[in-house]
Amino acid sequence: MRLPDPAEQKLIARCKAGERSAFDELIRQYEKRVYNLAYRLSASYDDAGDITVDTFMRVYQAIGLFRGDANFSTWLFRIVTNVYLDRRKKTRNKVTVSLEEVIELEESTVSRQVESDTPGPEEEAETNERNSALDSAIMTLPDYQRLMVLLYHTEGLSYEEIAEALSLPIGTVKSRLNRARLLLRERLQARRELF
Amino acid sequence: MVTMQCEKIGEQFSAIVEGSLDAAMKLKVEEHLQSCTSCTSQLAELRKLWSMLDELPELSAPAGLHGDIMRSLDAAMNDARPQGGLIERLKAVFASNPRAVLAGAAAIVLLAIAPMFARNSTEASLSILPSAPTTSDVHYSASAIWLQRQTGQVQVTILAPAGQTGVANVKVDLIQNLPDSVYTSVNSVVTNVIPGQLRVVRLTGANTDDLLHYAIMVSTINRAGKSLQSTTVPILTTAVRPAP
Ligand SMILES: [Zn+2]
């Protein structure tokens, strides 16, 4: 478990006091991570924006009750998850797309928005293609598996933190994550040439 | 060839990559890998996948996102000023014990949450009105009764506040209080309320073994579907009708 950051604790205390500028700062610190998680959960830029806004609204409503015994990011990602799952419940009839379709649909958009460290053009194209294939494969995972993969790998949460964020026993988190990784590997078999 | 043993080894793949296996298991795995090309190549692919996942780049947030969040925040901060934050009111409901409240009241009481001006106060007050809403209370009066154990169905009776002249659209939410004081809407329904008439709606989805963690929120909504004002009430558990 990471130690709480004193600067962040101070910022949260100011948020609890209802200081607008403190919220402004807290939101700036986390909006990109929330947006990324929301995008990779929802597979939609529009939904990702809405989920991000809703998440920070819930943060605003509930910040007074954040006790600080959990990491703020763990608590925040728990809220993102709830917001996403609530929305998901409302649009349950949404058609699921196959991996191939997702790749075709998403490839260009994903690679266009990715921030890169400016390698050579060919290398960049290859990396982008690989990452967008990976992104698309992640999006085909079942909700909970996808969530865990994202929290662990892209958000860098520990098994303990994921267990806390999702109210699951740590053994369950570990075994589900293992299954998710194996499933992901399997789904990427179709795009083997990229690896 | 994929065998039963391969499946067992597969369960350990993540632990192998992380190096968190105990010595005995490690020996078993190494032995298997020496004779199984399928597991060996799967494991190599998993290692590759693992580092790709860790290095997946961040997308940049859209330019207008911060402004969108701040606009919603400003609207929420303005809404909160006259009537106390939603969360304080929710907290008040969950802090009150519906059973205790009911002990002193005959049959059904209509509850209303007193408006709270001290937004950061952790103390919340709950006032019980004997029947009809008072003129000073802008909120809806509502009572929520748990009806059915099997379906977790809750019946909510809503009465328009004094001063409401026309038909109003209201949203009724079944709210669940999760750990860490995260509140989530389990189920909701939109209905209309006519002055002088009781409106009854039913919502399902409450865990009836854990009713103290649920409440009902009744909000007025405008044409765009935005919640304007809300009343939150606990679920009264004495009017329980257990499943036959
Ligand atoms: Zn094997």
pLDDT value at residue B100: 38
Q: Give bridge partners of residue B127 from the DSSP assignment.
A: B112
Residues of B whose CB is below 8 A from A184: 49, 53
Residue with token string 């996102």: B65
Q: How far is the CA of A176 from the centre of ligand 1 (A)?
A: 20
Q: How far is the CA of A189 from the centre of ligand 1 (A)?
A: 18
pLDDT value at residue A128: 80
Are B77 and A188 an interchain contact pair (Cβ–Cβ within 8 Å)? no
pLDDT-derived band of residue B123, with 50, 70 and 90 as boundaries?
very low
Please provide the CATH number assigned to the domain covering B106-242: 2.60.40.2550
Domain ranges of chain A: 6-194
* Partner A, chain B 57-76, Cβ-Cβ below 8 Å: 57-62, 65-66, 68-70, 72-74, 76
The DSSP call for residue B84 is -
Position B111 pLDDT exceeds 90: no
pLDDT value at residue B214: 79
Residues of A whose CB is below 8 A from B47: none
Are B69 and A177 an interchain contact pair (Cβ–Cβ within 8 Å)? no
Using a 10 angstrom Cβ sphere, with 0-12 exposed, 13-18 middle and 19 or more buried, the burial of residue B62 is middle
> Which ranges of chain A have pLDDT less than 70?
1-4, 91-121, 195
pLDDT value at residue A93: 45
C-beta atoms surrounding B107 within 10 Å: 9
Would you state the structure tokens that stand for residue B155, as one six-digit string? 């019946």
Fold for A6-194, please state it.
Rna Polymerase Sigma Factor; Chain: A (1.10.1740)
Position B99 pLDDT exceeds 60: no
The DSSP call for residue B97 is -
pLDDT digits (tens, 9 = 90+) for B56-73: 888 899 999 999 999 999
Domain ranges of chain B: 4-54, 106-242
Give the 3-state secondary structure percentages of chain A, helix then strand then coil, rounded to 5. 80, 0, 20
Are B74 and A82 an interchain contact pair (Cβ–Cβ within 8 Å)? no
Q: What does the pLDDT average to over B31-43?
A: 94
Residues of B whose CB is below 8 A from A28: 66
Q: Is B161 left (phi over 0), alpha (psi -120 to 50) or beta?
A: beta
Are A181 and B54 an interchain contact pair (Cβ–Cβ within 8 Å)? no
Tell which wins on pLDDT, B7 or B194: B7
> Alpha-carbon distance A137 to A130, whole Å?
11
CA-angle at B91, arms to A170 and B193, nearest 5° = 115
Q: Are strands B168-178 and B182-193 parallel, antiparallel or unpaired?
A: antiparallel
> Alpha-carbon distance B220 to B226, whole Å?
8
Put simply, whether A185 touches B (Cβ < 8 Å) is yes
* Partner B, chain A 55-74, Cβ-Cβ below 8 Å: 56-58, 60-62, 64-67, 70
* Partner A, chain B 138-177, Cβ-Cβ below 8 Å: none
pLDDT digits (tens, 9 = 90+) for A57-73: 999 988 887 877 778 98
pLDDT value at residue B14: 95
Are B45 and A62 an interchain contact pair (Cβ–Cβ within 8 Å)? no
> Alpha-carbon distance A61 to A82, whole Å?
14
Please give the model's pTM, rounded to 2 decimal places. 0.59
> Alpha-carbon distance B68 to B58, whole Å?
20
User: Is the interface score ipTM higher than 0.85?
Assistant: no
pLDDT value at residue B134: 30
Using a 10 angstrom Cβ sphere, with 0-12 exposed, 13-18 middle and 19 or more buried, the burial of residue B128 is middle
Q: HEC profile for A29-92?
A: HHHHHHHHHHHHHHCCHHHHHHHHHHHHHHHHHHHHHCCCCCCHHHHHHHHHHHHHHHHHHHCC
pLDDT value at residue B96: 59
Measure CB to CB from residue B46 to each of A45, A52, A185 and give the nearest one: A185
> Alpha-carbon distance A186 to A140, whole Å?
12
Are B52 and A23 an interchain contact pair (Cβ–Cβ within 8 Å)? no
